[in-house]
Amino acid sequence: MLTYDSIGELVREAEKRNVKISELVLADQAEAMEVSPMELYEKMELDFLVMRESVKAGQEENQKSMSGLTGGEGYKMKAYAEQKAGGLCGTLLSKAISRALSVAGCNASMGRIVAAPTAGSCGILPGCLVSLWEDRGFDEKDVVMSMFTAGAFGMVIAGRASVAGAQGGCQAECGSAAAMAAAALVELMGGAPAQCADACAIAIANQLGLVCDPVAGLVEIPCIKRNVSGLVIAFSSADLALAGIEAKIPADECLDAMRRVGDALPDSLKETAKGGLAATPTGQRLQKQVFG
């Protein structure tokens, strides 16, 4: 049985058995939960369906958050991507950005999402995976299987560092989601287990120290747009790893550093809405606008 306390453990076991990390994890979790691998796969398949539905819901033109502070970002980005031939980022990435915005917007409007690993970072993994499935034609089974890799990396991150903004800042939410997504993308592209770990490490390193400062204490500003930056980091980290560029600092050491950085952050920068952008004059004005 796997312990899920080390990315290195996942890589070593996958290499030892000559399997993908997702295959290793599916077999291990099915045994641990005393269910068949197919039953567990079908549950993950339903999660991917919910991801696709949340993309669709968030891309509605009239989508608005419960507070009224945000809404329609996914629709606007989708329209821009279609009208401007992908804009500066290109079609795949600009559409992926639209999907990340859409899922985060769906969450803000109390729609159903998959917390991957949290509601605040819910747009990153689906933004990546739905895009490869819909725009690049990746097989649904491969996409669903990659979610087991993402989930396993998330379990290690949660145990070794944190996935909660209140504990570790946004590096623990969007940073963790980007790392999980990067690993899944590498596997989908045929990368080796060690490259999945490199992508995870690079993604973590590029969001180390990211604070959690939600305006008015709501998961909207700047959270929704941070899902976009996390998605872009996931794609770039995966491409770096697939190109053979090593992280240099092992993934587990990056996670240990993330935990220490999170512990060092003041409470004002850990989901309390007392610092960062939440403490700006506009942030304070928006808080009064919502709550009086």
pLDDT, average across residues 179-189: 99
pLDDT digits (tens, 9 = 90+) for 16-25: 999 999 999 9
What is the pLDDT, as a whole number, of residue 114? 98
Token pair listed for 137: 């034609």
Report pTM: 0.97
pLDDT, average across residues 182-196: 98
pLDDT digits (tens, 9 = 90+) for 47-67: 999 999 999 999 999 999 999
Token pair listed for 172: 């623990």
- Smallest CA-to-CA distance from 173 within 112, 104, 223 is with 223
65 and 105 Cβ atoms separated by less than 8 Å: yes
Token pair listed for 156: 């290690």
Beta bridge partners of 270: 212
Token pair listed for 173: 């939410």
What is the pLDDT, as a whole number, of residue 283? 98
Distance CA 81, CA 98 (A): 8
3-class secondary-structure state, position 159: helix
Distance CA 160, CA 261 (A): 13
pLDDT digits (tens, 9 = 90+) for 127-160: 999 999 999 999 999 999 999 999 999 999 999 9
Beta bridge partners of 212: 270
What is the pLDDT, as a whole number, of residue 249? 98
Distance CA 227, CA 237 (A): 15
Amino acid at 173: E
Token pair listed for 31: 């045994």
